[in-house]
Structure 1
């Protein structure tokens, strides 16, 4: 298939609306790190925040853009993941391991997220995000996560489906092996 030139329909700070071969889609210029973080007490760290595009609060894994801030254009994925984990949850990881890079909505956006497993956690702050964020941190015991998520859903909150991927990997004996270099941070 011959690819035509992209036509820019709109250029924003983080997103670009493009048309290619009659297909409109969003291009995201920065990668996204999504953290799977279990405390030493086997509690899954989740965050709650209001999301303007859907008009309600969501329950999510801690996550953030890579290289989106001034002076961080060449930021390493695992460094960004560690920064976001501490900023959003107040926990620091002794080891970060890249698990898998996946599209979030391949028919709508070029965005991909990279799941990062955070190990050897230590609480160093309260969390809650930066000055522009209103994040509530939740520490949910592993045995109660599914029921807790169901309760939040029934209460009208949106549940990010990436949480269920985290639970899948938590139940697996091995993380997916999609990196040739086995890159980890903190070893």
Structure 2
């Protein structure tokens, strides 16, 4: 289980990447994205930065599932139910998911 994510292509902005990955991986598009937070993943080791965005005005335009060899199963879970849904799966959950949910809960 993961949030939509991906690498920034060339001169693409982080916001455009967030919108592109949302559509490629989930089949949803949005009117706008709002950055909630950004942070290095491993300061001093890598220059990677994780950015959390909230998609607004979301609507389904395709089936999602990724591109190329990606085989992504899309789960649509209401934000109010996500903690219970994640716990029911009995899997380890990436800390970035919990961080993203926290930031989303603070941004309403």
How many residues get paired? Answer: 108
For 1:103, which of 34, 40, 45 is the aligned residue? 40
TM-score, normalised by the number of residues in structure 2: 0.88
The within-5 A match list for 1:28-43 is none
Structure of greater Rg: 1
**Following the alignment from structure 2 to structure 1, what is the Cα–Cα distance between the partners of residues 92 and 65?**
19
Distance 1:104 1:150, change over 3 A: same
| Runs of 4+ that moved beyond 3 A | none
Question: Larger % of helix: which?
Answer: 2
Question: Larger % of strand: which?
Answer: 1
Alignment RMSD: 1.7
Distance 1:66 1:165, change over 3 A: same
Structure 2, unaligned stretches of length 5 or more? none
TM-score, normalised by the number of residues in structure 1: 0.53
Q: Does 1:170 align with 2:104?
A: yes
The within-5 A match list for 1:149-160 is 149-152=86-89, 154=90, 157-160=91-94
Asked if structure 1 preserves the Cα contact closer than 8 Å seen for 2:33 and 2:53, the reply is yes
Displacement after TM superposition at 1:107 (Å): 5.4
Show the counterpart of 1:91: 28
For 1:142, which of 58, 64, 79 is the aligned residue? 79
